[in-house]
């Protein structure tokens, strides 16, 4: 058989996708379809058991196939001295596309999930307004709504990478405080218009109804721009873990400011200086000065497959895929390297990237059976390029672990085992 000559896109096996398409699926060898009509033709053409009789009835609430694998969030162990505090992480390495199923959306709670009966819940808008307003859930549902597909990322996501270690980390354990959903709700500007914002009001102080009384101050420009009083998540009422019955949603900004179980919005001249914007969620720099109000999440990307703790079964062609996102706009480009950043090839985007939304990239890669370091590097519509870890460490040090958007490196050893590495 004539040996196929792949068109190389970059070092250590990254391939040109257009060239690969021309070869058709048979060109994919080990990674693609097997020739359909070899010696197993008889078995392949037989009618399988499940086609011979009617299947299960329609049901009221759907579930994944029992053959599709057990997809689970990864939750930390409860801490008795921090009741309800903690998080659970999205299994990014097992998902495709860009939308996170609601049951797998990551969670971060400071005092657990309150069990809110919407009939007893009120959202108040007060402070520097013409007329203070109180909304019942029922009333909020009457307003015209808009939908936006946006990622949500905790500013502590990927923070562990700055400290080092974590060779056995996975996409989920290292980066799983990241999800993406279609959020539907009333634009905050609509409700603020009705309340009548006084000209001297510069900040909106948002407070949650959980026992943590989570509070964050939102600058008025953002509040009037794209912030939602969100009621639905991927078409269904927001789940309790995401803030049922109503949450604030601030697209592109650190997760903490999207206050869940929203109960008050107070218009103020100055930020409220809540605990969560003074002692927490500020970024202390190497010189021990602290940055306050570091809202947007930086441009970032991550190869989700192959990734940490996976194994490549044999040398051959693999589809490298992952997600990219930016709090500053849309993803413009993702490049992938298989040689630890020495050479790069541009990946294909699966769909036109949305504003402040996850985008999925893919590129074919021929693993030779030798060592490799897989990396991805994203650039956004505002001109930001994802930095390497050393750049983040030099700029931000290790006192604070928030807002780490560095390039993730997955090392492949010559047995095909994949681990988190630092290059
Ligand atoms: N009321 C309230 N809002 C909150 C929190 C909280 O504990 N209480 N956690 C914040 C943090 S730190 C993050 S990262 C996001 C997480 O949102 P999610 O749980 O829907 O993923 O919610 C934010 N809003
Ligand atoms: Mo967070």
Using DSSP's 3-state secondary structure scheme, residue 412 falls into strand
What is the percentage of the chain residues whose pLDDT exceeds 70?
A: 93
120's torsion region: left (phi>0), alpha (psi -120 to 50) or beta?
alpha
Domain boundary among 262, 290, 318: 290
Q: Indicate whether residue 409 lines ligand 1 (CB < 6 A).
A: no
Same domain, 255 and 114: yes
Same domain, 270 and 309: no
Q: Indicate whether residue 258 lines ligand 1 (CB < 6 A).
A: yes
Give the pair of three-digit tokens for residue 162.
């700055």
Q: What is the mean pLDDT of residues 131-144?
A: 98
217-266 per-position pLDDT tens digit? 999 999 999 999 999 999 999 999 999 999 999 999 999 999 999 999 99
* Residue bearing the CA closest to ligand 1, atom 11: 256
189-229 per-position pLDDT tens digit? 999 999 999 999 999 999 999 999 999 999 999 999 999 99
Same domain, 320 and 384: yes
Work out which ligand 1 atom sits closest to the CA atom of 207.
Answer: 1
Same domain, 146 and 253: yes
- Best residue for ligand 1 mutational test, from 121, 154, 181 (most atoms within 8 Å of Cβ): 154
What is the percentage of the chain residues whose pLDDT exceeds 90?
A: 90
How do the residues of the chain divide into helix, strand and coil, expressed in percent and rounded to 5? 20, 35, 50
331-368 per-position pLDDT tens digit? 999 999 999 999 999 999 999 999 999 999 999 999 99
Q: Indicate whether residue 105 lines ligand 1 (CB < 6 A).
A: yes
- Best residue for ligand 1 mutational test, from 178, 210, 214, 279 (most atoms within 8 Å of Cβ): 214
Ligand nearest the Cα of residue 180 is 1
- 3-state SS string for 32-80: CCCCCCCCCHHHHHCCCHHHCCCCCCCCCCCCCCCCCCCCCCEECCCCC
143-152 per-position pLDDT tens digit? 999 999 999 9
Same domain, 199 and 269: yes
- Average model confidence (pLDDT) across the chain: 94
Q: Indicate whether residue 276 lines ligand 1 (CB < 6 A).
A: no
Ligand nearest the Cα of residue 212 is 1
Q: What residues make up the domain containing 244?
A: 107-169+178-290
Residue 98 lies in a domain: no
* Residue bearing the CA closest to ligand 1, atom 8: 214
Residue 54 lies in a domain: no
Please report, for residues 116, 125, 129, 147, 268, the alpha-carbon distance to residue 218 in angstroms, rounded to integers and kept in the order given: 24, 14, 16, 20, 10
| Ligand 2 center to 365 CA (angstroms) | 35
Q: Indicate whether residue 206 lines ligand 1 (CB < 6 A).
A: no
Same domain, 126 and 247: yes
Strand spans (E) along 299-408: 300-305, 316-325, 331-337, 345-346, 348-349, 359-367, 372-380
Residue 67 lies in a domain: no
Total number of domains constituting the chain? 2
Same domain, 113 and 252: yes
């Amino acid at each position: 058989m004539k040996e196929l000559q792949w068109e190389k896109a970059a070092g250590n096996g990254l391939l040109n996708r257009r060239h690969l398409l021309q070869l058709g699926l048979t060109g994919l060898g080990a990674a693609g379809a097997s020739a359909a009509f070899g010696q197993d033709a008889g078995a392949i053409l037989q009618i399988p058991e499940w086609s011979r009789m009617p299947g299960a009835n329609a049901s009221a609430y759907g579930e994944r196939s029992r053959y599709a694998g057990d997809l689970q969030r990864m939750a930390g162990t409860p801490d008795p001295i921090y009741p309800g505090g903690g998080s659970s992480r999205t299994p990014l390495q097992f998902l495709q596309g860009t939308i996170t199923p609601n049951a797998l959306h990551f969670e971060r709670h400071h005092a657990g999930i309150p069990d809110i009966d919407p009939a007893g819940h009120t959202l108040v808008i007060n402070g520097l307004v013409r007329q203070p307003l109180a909304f019942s859930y029922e009333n909020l549902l009457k307003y015209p709504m808009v939908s936006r597909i946006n990622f949500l990322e905790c500013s502590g996501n990927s923070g562990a990478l700055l400290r080092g270690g974590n060779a056995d980390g996975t996409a989920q354990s290292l980066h799983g405080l990241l999800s993406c959903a279609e959020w539907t709700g009333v634009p905050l500007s609509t409700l603020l218009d009705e309340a009548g914002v006084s000209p001297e009001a510069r900040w909106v102080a948002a407070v949650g109804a959980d026992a943590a009384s989570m509070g964050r101050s939102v600058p008025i420009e953002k509040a009037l721009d794209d912030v939602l009083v969100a009621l639905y998540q991927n078409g269904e009422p927001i789940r309790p873990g995401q803030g049922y019955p109503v949450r604030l949603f601030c697209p592109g900004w650190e997760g903490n400011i999207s206050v869940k179980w929203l109960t008050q919005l107070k218009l103020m001249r100055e930020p409220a200086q809540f605990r969560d914007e003074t002692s927490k969620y500020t970024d202390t720099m190497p010189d021990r000065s602290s940055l306050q109000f570091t809202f947007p999440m930086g441009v970032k990307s991550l190869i989700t497959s192959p990734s940490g703790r996976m194994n490549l079964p044999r040398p051959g062609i693999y589809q490298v895929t992952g997600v990219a996102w930016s709090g500053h706009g849309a993803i413009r480009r993702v490049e992938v390297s298989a040689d630890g950043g020495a050479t790069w090839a541009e990946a294909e985007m699966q769909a036109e990237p949305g504003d402040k939304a996850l985008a999925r990239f893919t590129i074919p890669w021929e693993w030779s059976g030798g060592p490799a370091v897989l990396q991805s590097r994203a650039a956004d519509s505002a001109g930001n390029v994802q930095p390497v870890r050393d750049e983040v460490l030099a700029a931000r040090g290790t006192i604070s672990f928030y807002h780490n958007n560095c390039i993730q490196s997955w090392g492949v050893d010559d047995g095909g085992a994949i681990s988190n590495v630092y290059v």
